[in-house]
């Protein structure tokens, strides 16, 4: 049970609170002044502190300050007199969890306390998660330990320290942006800017002046001089996303940057040297674009010094369960929804889908499922129907596999397509309902 400290110089108030909280099952230590209480806090093991504001030896304000410095996750609730609301609000800005104005109802106090304890738990879980993830399963925000992903991580580690231009190819939602950021973070440029430009999101004219900047009066509307993103990312990394979308004019200018590391602001012919690493990404087949005459071949070879190909999720399905767990944790924290029970069939069913939208689609699906979950449970019925409908059936196998394995895949697919209704599925498969139950057991 949670351990609570109560500090108030009025005996009847601290006794009253102590009695009421003990009745609720909390362990309570009460003090008439701050110093002794703080000694106990510093020993650790305290879950919450309730402190009066106006006291002679140490004020509530001073007590709060010391506690926040010691452990900013330890919730402090301040007790104030009638005229002190302004002060109390100020204390919340300095880290108090909440305040209660005397006289207050014990019921209200009890609600605030349980909320405070809950929020502390969430913060702790989040912290331990981040720590754990940092050390063993997370590579700069990327989850997944499949052979294909390990290869990607190894490759990133190898090329990050160099200045080589990198082209990242892969379907939408495979994590290209995360790879670009990992390349930057694990390079010796990490203390300098990492700037992303989404080339598809900007119209032709805008893109050019975004990238290169412009001089005052360079074109109508150029009221002031503007520093472009290339200059802004000096000494760092610039990530040009959706590079397949840039027009011929910008392609020529980009070629010059790649060859000479020199830019010119729009409306100026003064060359400016930049020290940048360039990373680009695309989900288009640039070779096709070259064939169609939309993308310069010489530019392609300059961009494609090092190529990283992101595997689609369906080619590394063994990563799906860990990704599911990771996103469940992430979104249960974001939405403050505690998930205590995940139907084991979720892993099997979600792993059987083709995920055309890759990790982004899986991530969005898990978020929806958490929001729609009931009583902390996630069950098969929570899988949005459109996710299943959008999934292509996938019975491709490498070589020969046991028939039972293929059968298993097919049954799961049929179940998903039939809203997990076993009777309906059995009918669609032309077998007895009992048979389906038996096969699922197996």
Ligand X SMILES: Nc1ncnc2c1ncn2[C@@H]1O[C@H](COP(=O)(O)OP(=O)(O)OP(=O)(O)O)[C@@H](O)[C@H]1O
User: Which residues of the shown chain bind ligand X in the complex (CB under 6 A)?
Assistant: 142-144, 170, 172-178, 283, 359-360, 363
Q: Using CB distances below 5 to 8 A depending on partner kind, what does residue 60 bind out of ligand X, Mg ion, none?
A: none
> For residue 263, what are the β-bridge partners?
272
Looking at beta carbons only, is 78 or 168 nearer to ligand X?
Answer: 168
Quote the least distance from Cβ 176 to Mg ion, whole Å: 5
- Could you say which of 177, 309, 325, 343 contacts Mg ion (CB under 5 A)? 177
Quote the least distance from Cβ 139 to ligand X, whole Å: 8
- What would you report as the CA-atom Rg of the chain, rounded to the nearest whole angstrom? 30
Looking at beta carbons only, is 284 or 427 nearer to ligand X?
Answer: 284
- Identify whether the C-beta of residue 365 lies closer than 8 Å to the C-beta of residue 383: yes
> For residue 151, what are the β-bridge partners?
none
Looking at beta carbons only, is 66 or 177 nearer to Mg ion?
Answer: 177
Looking at beta carbons only, is 6 or 246 nearer to ligand X?
Answer: 246
Looking at beta carbons only, is 34 or 312 nearer to ligand X?
Answer: 312
> For residue 50, what are the β-bridge partners?
6, 77
- Per CB under 5 A, contacts with Mg ion among 94-133 are none
Minimal CB distance to ligand X: which residue?
Answer: 175
- Identify whether the C-beta of residue 373 lies closer than 8 Å to the C-beta of residue 332: no
Q: Using CB distances below 5 to 8 A depending on partner kind, what does residue 173 bind out of ligand X, Mg ion, none?
A: ligand X
> Which of 13, 50, 44 is closest to 28 using CA atoms?
50
| Distance of alpha carbon 327 from alpha carbon 306, whole angstroms | 31
Q: Using CB distances below 5 to 8 A depending on partner kind, what does residue 228 bind out of ligand X, Mg ion, none?
A: none
| 43 contact partners, CB below 8 Å, separation of at least 6 | none
Looking at beta carbons only, is 296 or 363 nearer to ligand X?
Answer: 363
- Identify whether the C-beta of residue 93 lies closer than 8 Å to the C-beta of residue 61: no
Minimal CB distance to Mg ion: which residue?
Answer: 177
Q: Stretches 121-129, 173-181, 325-333, 404-412: which one binds Mg ion (CB under 5 A)?
A: 173-181
Helix (H, G, I), strand (E, B) or coil at 114: helix
Q: Using CB distances below 5 to 8 A depending on partner kind, what does residue 215 bind out of Mg ion, ligand X, none?
A: none
Looking at beta carbons only, is 279 or 342 nearer to Mg ion?
Answer: 279
Quote the least distance from Cβ 229 to Mg ion, whole Å: 16
Quote the least distance from Cβ 345 to Mg ion, whole Å: 32
375-384: buried (b, 16+ CB within 10 Å) or exposed (e) per residue? eeebeeebbe
Strand blocks (E) in 53-119? 76-80, 98-101
Tell whether residue 171 is a contact of Mg ion (CB under 5 A): no
| Distance of alpha carbon 34 from alpha carbon 37, whole angstroms | 5
- Per CB under 5 A, contacts with Mg ion among 399-438 are none
| Distance of alpha carbon 198 from alpha carbon 282, whole angstroms | 10
Please give the residue ranges that form the binding site for Mg ion (CB under 5 A): 177
């Amino acid at each position: 049970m949670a351990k609570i400290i109560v500090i108030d110089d009025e005996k009847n108030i601290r006794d009253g609170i102590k009695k009421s909280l003990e009745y609720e099952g909390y362990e309570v230590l009460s003090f008439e002044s701050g110093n002794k209480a703080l000694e106990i806090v510093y020993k650790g093991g305290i879950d919450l502190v309730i402190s009066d504001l106006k006291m002679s030896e140490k004020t509530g304000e001073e007590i709060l300050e010391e506690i926040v410095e010691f452990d900013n996750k330890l919730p402090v609730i301040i007790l104030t007199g009638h005229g002190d609301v302004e002060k109390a609000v100020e204390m919340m800005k300095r880290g108090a969890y909440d305040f209660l104005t005397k006289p207050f109802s014990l019921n209200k106090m009890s609600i605030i306390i349980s909320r405070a304890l809950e929020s502390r738990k969430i913060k702790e879980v989040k912290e331990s998660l981040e720590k754990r993830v940092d050390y063993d399963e997370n590579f700069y925000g990327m989850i997944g330990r499949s052979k294909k992903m390990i290869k990607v991580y190894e490759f990133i580690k190898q090329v990050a320290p160099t200045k080589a231009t990198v082209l990242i190819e892969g379907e939408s939602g495979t994590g290209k942006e995360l790879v670009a950021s990992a390349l930057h973070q694990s390079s010796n440029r990490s203390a300098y800017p990492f700037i992303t430009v989404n080339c598809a999101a900007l119209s032709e004219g805008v893109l050019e002046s975004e990238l290169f900047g412009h001089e005052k009066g360079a074109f109508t509307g150029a009221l002031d001089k503007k520093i472009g993103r290339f200059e802004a990312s000096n000494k760092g990394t610039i990530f040009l996303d959706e590079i397949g979308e840039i027009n011929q004019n910008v392609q020529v200018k980009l070629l010059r940057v790649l060859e000479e590391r020199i830019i010119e602001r729009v409306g100026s012919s003064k060359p400016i040297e930049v020290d940048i690493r360039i990373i680009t990404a695309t989900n288009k087949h640039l070779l096709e674009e070259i064939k169609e005459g939309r993308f310069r071949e010489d530019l392609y070879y300059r961009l494609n010094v090092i190529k990283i190909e992101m595997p689609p999720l369906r080619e590394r399905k063994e990563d799906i369960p860990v990704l599911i767990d990771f996103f469940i944790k992430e979104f249960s924290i974001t939405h403050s929804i505690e998930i205590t029970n995940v139907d084991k069939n979720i892993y099997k069913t979600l792993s059987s889908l083709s995920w055309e939208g890759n990790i982004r689609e899986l991530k969005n699906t898990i978020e929806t499922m958490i929001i729609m979950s009931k009583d902390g449970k996630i069950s098969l019925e929570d899988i949005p129907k459109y996710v299943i409908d959008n999934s292509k059936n996938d019975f491709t196998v490498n070589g020969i596999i046991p028939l039972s394995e293929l059968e298993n895949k097919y049954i799961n697919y049929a179940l998903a397509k039939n809203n997990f209704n076993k009777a309906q599925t059995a009918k669609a498969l032309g077998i007895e309902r009992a048979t389906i139950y038996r096969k699922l057991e197996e």
